[in-house]
């Protein structure tokens, strides 16, 4: 039969995934991938998982395998109240909702807020998974300017003034793709602007706990709780395969989010949630976080050092205090997509930065480098190989 | 801030959940609920779950906790190829996709196919969770007529002739809410009609293995594989809290389904999938299914017997060969929503049938009764209590 005639209008934008196409080669044998954003398996608490399963089965019995509330498994929400409290977020069990990864938050917020053509203000560059979640609801993206301190508040202010913005989407801490963090003074200014303009912000914070240097910065949510949906995930602090995300939002938003989620998956895996509840409440996570940091910190240092030693002149790169990514900008005219194809011949992969921009033609000279998956030696080898390609291509 | 102005147009239909409202009282102490569609915890393989967790951790290690393919965990898809083969569905690993419950299938198929106003043909009555999944995409529903053998093929034929139908949605086996099964002759006729009209069918089969009497009937998918998306779930054969659904569809449909799912949750819980893979491939499921049936069969018999002994004159009810529901129809003029409120005063709950119709005013005299959750004695008590209410209300 003719399947094409079946598809909805939104399928057109959903079917185009240029990044999926170019990253297909990443799994070739011998390839070193600095492309994905994948946690190190060495960061998972493998030593306690079997015991954790036993503990959960003993503690919750068949309830850990039964249908549960769309809002989420209550013991996990109770455990998260304390955890987010340490970030400065004041909330209660009823206001924490569990989702299937924080991707589940992004899909539902798009579903409840976005009519076709509604405007979403995003950082340039921004997180690709958010764009992928929002795209089926056919919004228009308005790019806001960033510098080494992340979003420039004046650009937010101008954007809210000049456009009818339905929602602002930010990754303020160790941003994907740049690794940059918005400092507290800017956060205060952003919170003021959001409140003054009666605007709504989605604050996506998957990496906040992965800090290797410097002081913690409060979430923007703590500065404007009535205007912010704050979302985070246990993918980087426990295990991504369990698919546990969560969010805290004003009650009217949360109510609609739950209605949306009910139609999407009824609820998130109860057993995954029960494992997470026990992992947090029994104190395992507090012990694990320093171990996770001890895996990533030397990898980041190795990458920064190797870049500094080997990259050709004309490059700038971010020096993040945490997270999983370094962002590098080559000289004007450099084309990182061309260089990507040269690099994979030398068995090293990264993500050309242009894929993180919503406007065509932006970020051609940029690239995102991930340091969470490969070990220090591999990272150094990869950066050397990549640098050779950059040297031979950039100065041509 | 003013949250109302933020919501998309689709939020209006999503926010209305009359059934959610009326079922809020179901959890009151002392209430016997014949309302939900919840599997018995006694049907879960609790005796092997701890061992299963250990086996999975040994076998797959950190891979069971890592990000995985959106399409699904390959060992689970391999195990399902054999399992669906026994239903007569010929497929291969590449064509089986895993979802977060079969609810995840319904959301994604709505997302990729439905423009606002597109027509979806459904049985009257039909499964409420499907309506909830499709509603955010703002389709129009066209009701098709059913009798004790489920969908009447002539009604399907007429519907496809008179309307531009984007998709037909059916639960052909032990339907929710009626428990009815479409016999093989009708299935052949339905497959012919679907093929002749180049129509697309979503065949939802959550209960097919829960057969207590009679012979298995082949899925419609086996009669028209190019025109059907077949979906099922492990919620009734393993544990609903793990949220494992799956589907088999023509490749062009599957490709778009995967693109949609990637934006919704990246993938389904890897650990849940690995548990399911081991549960099937190590032969546990084949041993468990007869145990599950031995829990439900006497409950169904107890309910049918109690209805037959106690319901007042003027009632008809389905006598399903399997599944989790009995459908009862009172005399013309009976109002089961009114009766529901009387019944909960007597501490017994059911679902008024009108909620399973997409047209207002239909099914006022009908009710859905679930027998999977309560034991035989409780079911008999509940039906007696309910019968007293029916007797006093219907003949008023």
Q: Is residue A131 part of a domain?
A: yes
pLDDT of res. A396: 54
Domain final residue pick, A237, A256, A284: A284
Is residue B396 over pLDDT 70?
no
Q: Among all residues of chain B, which has the CA nearest to that of A64?
A: B241
Question: Measured between beta carbons, which residues in chain A are less than 8 angstroms from residue B292?
Answer: none
Tell if the CB–CB gap between B65 and A250 is shorter than 8 Å: no
Stretch B329-354: mean pLDDT: 95
Stretch B146-170: mean pLDDT: 98
Q: Among all residues of chain B, which has the CA nearest to that of A45?
A: B62
pLDDT tens for each residue of B228-242: 999 999 999 999 999
In whole angstroms, give the CA distance from residue A88 to residue A220.
Answer: 10
B77 and B186 assigned to the same domain: yes
DSSP-based three-state secondary structure for A325: strand
What pTM was estimated for this model as a whole?
0.96
Taking a contact as any Cβ pair under 8 Å apart, which residues of chain B between 168 and 227 contact chain A? 198, 200, 226-227
Taking a contact as any Cβ pair under 8 Å apart, which residues of chain B between 301 and 340 contact chain A? none
Domain final residue pick, B266, B285, B304: B285
As a three-state string, the secondary structure of B48-96 is HHHHHHHHHHHHHHHHHHCCCCCCCCHHHHHHHHHHHHCCCCCCCHHHE
B197 and B125 assigned to the same domain: yes
> How does DSSP classify residue B226?
G
Q: Among all residues of chain A, which has the CA nearest to that of B64?
A: A241
| Closest-CA distance of chain A to residue B363, Å | 23
| Closest-CA distance of chain B to residue A256, Å | 7
Is residue B23 over pLDDT 90?
no
pLDDT of res. A395: 67
Range of the domain at B155: 66-285
B148 and B35 assigned to the same domain: no
Tell if the CB–CB gap between B264 and A103 is shorter than 8 Å: yes
pLDDT bucket at B20, cuts 50 / 70 / 90 = confident
Is residue B16 over pLDDT 90?
no
B148 and B214 assigned to the same domain: yes
pLDDT bucket at B394, cuts 50 / 70 / 90 = confident
Tell if the CB–CB gap between A17 and B259 is shorter than 8 Å: yes
pLDDT of res. B25: 80
Q: Is residue A344 part of a domain?
A: yes
A323 and A235 assigned to the same domain: no
Domain final residue pick, A284, A317, A339: A284
Q: Is residue B136 part of a domain?
A: yes
Q: Is residue B323 part of a domain?
A: yes
CA B227 to chain centre: 20
pLDDT tens for each residue of A336-348: 999 999 999 999 9
Q: For position A156, which CATH number holds?
A: 3.40.640.10
Q: Is residue A364 part of a domain?
A: yes
Of residues A71, A68, A67, the one with CA closest to residue A97:
A71
Taking a contact as any Cβ pair under 8 Å apart, which residues of chain B between 61 and 80 contact chain A? 61-68
Q: For position A296, which CATH number holds?
A: 3.90.1150.10
In whole angstroms, give the CA distance from residue A93 to residue A77.
Answer: 5
pLDDT of res. B395: 67
B39 contacts chain A (CB < 8 A) = yes
Number of domains in chain B: 2
| Closest-CA distance of chain A to residue B233, Å | 12
Tell if the CB–CB gap between A242 and B269 is shorter than 8 Å: yes
Tell if the CB–CB gap between A111 and B66 is shorter than 8 Å: no
pLDDT tens for each residue of B182-202: 999 999 999 999 999 999 999
A137 and A171 assigned to the same domain: yes
ipTM for this model: 0.96
Prior bond to A177 cis, omega within 30?
yes
Q: How many CB atoms lie within 10 A of CB A324?
A: 27
B94 and B194 assigned to the same domain: yes
pLDDT tens for each residue of B269-314: 999 999 999 999 999 999 999 999 999 999 999 999 999 999 999 9
Q: Is residue B57 part of a domain?
A: no
Buried b (16+ CB within 10 A) or exposed e, A4-22: eebbbebbeebeebebeeb
B111 and B88 assigned to the same domain: yes
The CA-CA-CA angle for residues B177, B179, B185, to 5°, reads: 120
Q: How many CB atoms lie within 10 A of CB A78?
A: 15
CB B347 within 8 A of CB B32: yes
Q: What element of type H or E holds A156? A: helix A153-162
Residue spans of chain A under pLDDT 70: 395-396
Nearest to A132 among B39, B241, B262 (CB): B262
| Closest-CA distance of chain B to residue A312, Å | 34
Q: Tell me what the pLDDT averaged over chain B comes to.
A: 96
pLDDT of res. A24: 78
B217 and B358 assigned to the same domain: no
pLDDT bucket at B374, cuts 50 / 70 / 90 = very high
In whole angstroms, give the CA distance from residue B200 to residue B216.
Answer: 24
Q: Is residue B52 part of a domain?
A: no
| Closest-CA distance of chain A to residue B140, Å | 14
Tell if the CB–CB gap between A259 and B53 is shorter than 8 Å: no
Interstrand relation of B96-100 and B228-233 (parallel, antiparallel or unpaired)? unpaired
Stretch B311-331: mean pLDDT: 97
Q: Is residue B59 part of a domain?
A: no
* Phi, psi for A166 (deg, rounded to 5): -75, -40
A278 and A367 assigned to the same domain: no
Tell if the CB–CB gap between B256 and A112 is shorter than 8 Å: no
In whole angstroms, give the CA distance from residue A42 to residue A48.
Answer: 13
A333 and A260 assigned to the same domain: no
DSSP-based three-state secondary structure for B298: helix
Stretch B247-252: mean pLDDT: 97
B244 and B363 assigned to the same domain: no
- Beta-carbon contacts of A219 under 8 Å, excluding residues fewer than 6 positions away, are A87, A88, A89, A172, A173, A203, A205, A208, A228, A230
| Closest-CA distance of chain B to residue A247, Å | 15
Stretch B91-96: mean pLDDT: 97
């Amino acid at each position: 039969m003719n399947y094409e005639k079946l598809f909805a209008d939104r399928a057109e934008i959903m079917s185009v995934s240029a990044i999926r196409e170019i990253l297909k080669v990443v799994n070739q044998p011998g390839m070193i991938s600095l492309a994905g954003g994948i946690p190190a398996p060495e960061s998972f608490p493998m030593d306690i998982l079997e015991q954790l399963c036993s503990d959960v089965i003993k503690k919750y019995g068949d309830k850990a395998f039964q249908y549960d509330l769309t809002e989420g498994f209550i013991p996990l929400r109770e455990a998260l109240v304390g955890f987010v409290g340490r970030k400065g977020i004041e909330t209660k069990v009823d206001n924490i909702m569990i989702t299937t990864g924080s991707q589940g938050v992004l899909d539902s917020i798009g579903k409840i807020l976005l009519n076709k053509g509604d405007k979403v203000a995003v950082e340039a560059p921004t997180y690709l998974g958010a764009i992928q979640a929002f795209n089926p609801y056919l919004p228009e993206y308005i790019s806001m300017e960033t510098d080494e301190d992340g979003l420039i508040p004046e650009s937010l202010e101008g954007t809210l003034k000049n456009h009818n913005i339905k929602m602002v989407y930010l990754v303020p801490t160790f941003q994907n793709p740049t690794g940059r963090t918005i400092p507290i003074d800017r956060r205060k200014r952003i919170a003021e602007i959001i409140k003054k303009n009666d605007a709504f912000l989605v604050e996506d914070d998957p990496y906040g706990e992965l800090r290797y240097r410097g002081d913690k910065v409060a979430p923007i949510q703590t500065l404007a709780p009535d205007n912010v949906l704050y979302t985070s995930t246990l993918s980087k602090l426990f295990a991504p395969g369990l698919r546990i995300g969560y969010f805290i939002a004003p009650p009217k938003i949360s109510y609609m989010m739950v209605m949306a989620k009910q139609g999407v998956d009824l609820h998130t895996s109860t057993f995954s949630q029960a494992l997470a509840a026990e992992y947090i409440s029994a104190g395992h996570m507090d012990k694990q976080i320093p171990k996770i940091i001890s895996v990533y910190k030397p990898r980041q240092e190795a990458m920064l050092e190797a870049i500094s030693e080997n990259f050709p002149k004309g490059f700038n790169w971010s020096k993040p205090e945490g997270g999983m990514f370094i962002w590098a900008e080559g000289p004007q005219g450099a084309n990182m997509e061309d260089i990507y194809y040269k690099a994979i011949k030398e068995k090293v992969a990264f993500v050309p930065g242009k894929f993180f921009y919503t406007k065509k033609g932006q970020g051609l000279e940029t690239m995102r480098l991930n340091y969470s998956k490969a070990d220090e030696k591999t990272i150094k080898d990869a950066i050397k190989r990549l640098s050779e390609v950059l040297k031979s291509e950039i100065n041509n």
